[in-house]
Amino acid sequence: MTIHGATAPRASGIYGDWVLVAIGIAIAALGFAYRGSPPGAGSVIKAEFTLVPVDADQLACASNRQFETLHCAYVADGKSAPLTDRPVVPAVTVARELFFVAGLFQDPTLAEYVRTHRNKPQERFTATCQIRLVEHVDDMLVRFRGPAFTPAEPGWVADVQSCRVPPPPR
């Protein structure tokens, strides 16, 4: 229908636009659902930690809590906790996420890398690890360098499953 040279909108065109919008929303919702829910306790995820060899001797956490069978090398007042062969230590990913990781420097690949690079204690490297999330905490104390522990931002306590360190670029 034309009114003074203009074409009136068709009802079926408006309906078609709404159908396209509805289809777009449905596709977006399916894509979001397909991503899955955020990881939680028990999930195994990949994390890329940025480290230096000297971190093996300097990173530590302090807490009076135990996370499953995992614990820090120190209790909250900074005194040594019961010995563990896989202490929890703070570690930061390349994306700047903080994790509290048990067994990081005891992983055979990472332990070997640190051992063979002791002569370059400040040379940064990336360790790609599979870690199992144990518990999200917001009351951890950490030490990155020096003797003092400071409150940490919230993060996941995790247990190392395996790590790999790519060879340095040539």
CA atoms within 13 A on the CB side of 85: 4
Kindly compute the dihedral angle of the four CA atoms of residues 146, 121, 125, 150, in this order, to the nearest 10 degrees.
0
Instruction: Clarify whether residues 20 and 68 are in a common domain.
Output: no
pLDDT tens readout for residues 155-168: 999 999 999 998 76
Question: Which of 28, 32, 27, 158 is closest to 92 using CA atoms?
Answer: 158
Instruction: With respect to residue 92, please indicate whether it lies within any of the assigned structural domains.
Output: yes
Place of tokens 């522990």: 149
Instruction: Clarify whether residues 8 and 64 are in a common domain.
Output: no
pLDDT tens readout for residues 65-122: 999 999 999 998 888 888 899 999 999 999 999 999 999 999 999 999 999 998 888 8
Instruction: Clarify whether residues 133 and 49 are in a common domain.
Output: yes
Instruction: With respect to residue 83, please indicate whether it lies within any of the assigned structural domains.
Output: yes
- Coil vs helix vs strand at 103: coil
Instruction: With respect to residue 143, please indicate whether it lies within any of the assigned structural domains.
Output: yes
Instruction: Clarify whether residues 19 and 79 are in a common domain.
Output: no
Number of folded domains that form the chain: 2
Instruction: Clarify whether residues 135 and 85 are in a common domain.
Output: yes
* Domain extent at residue 29: 2-34
Looking at the chain, how many residues does it have?
Answer: 170
Question: Which of 148, 108, 147, 114 is closest to 129 using CA atoms?
Answer: 108
